[in-house]
Amino acid sequence: MTFKPSPFVALQSAETRLINAMVGEQKAEWVLEIAPVTSPSPDIVGPRCRVLFNAAGFCWPFRAPFKALPLDTESVPALIVRHAWQPHRPCDLLDEAIRVLRPGGWLVSVSANPWHPAAWRELGREALWLPSWPQFQMLHARRALSLSTPGRNFWQGLVPGLTPILALRARKPSRPARIRPMPLRRPRFAAAPVAATQCRAA
């Protein structure tokens, strides 16, 4: 069976609302969005670049295999990864996304809820291949990302079929500042001329 990116048009309003709630609290110069070529982009505020993929790999604005995102390591301040966990995906894009993310940068991941009717209308029984909420969190936690999903979305994800979209926010750990040890040197005392004193011994 081949991998077919789904547009998820029915989930667009819920997705836009969730992403804006998560992105609005963060600060970044610009955001890189990684998404299926057939999926409409959410309406978010702020400068954004898009990288789209299809069944063969990244297809716009460049062509590249899934495991070789042609971006410099730690060059992206913030990321939105949308619907990358689809049925029969050849690989997980999360490793490449984390590689290009700067230390301290944030990541928002979005996936359809496999237990929601809207996902079943889009994918049919293949929706069962999508990660459930606990699996979705573990995919990020096992890569040493700090998860900071807002409370309401966290609890909604725990109830099967309650929300059509699973979304979480994570942060890549900052790199500790380098401290250069200062070389210790022996103190030098300047030799000063001794002034003659006018005091007389009693």
Residue ranges of domains in the chain, CATH in brackets: 9-171 (3.40.50.150)
Distances (CA, A) of 45 to 16, 17, 24, 26, 119: 11, 12, 8, 11, 26
Q: What is the mean pLDDT of residues 66-92?
A: 87
Q: What is the pLDDT of residue 80?
A: 94
CA distance 44 to 51: 16
This prediction has a pTM of 0.79
Which tens digits make up the pLDDT trace of 107-131?
999 998 888 888 888 778 888 888 9
pLDDT band, very low/low/confident/very high, at 43 (cuts 50, 70, 90) = confident
CA distance 79 to 101: 7
Percent of the chain with pLDDT over 90: 29
Beta-carbon contacts of residue 22 (< 8 Å; ≥ 6 apart): 108, 150, 167, 169
pLDDT band, very low/low/confident/very high, at 151 (cuts 50, 70, 90) = low
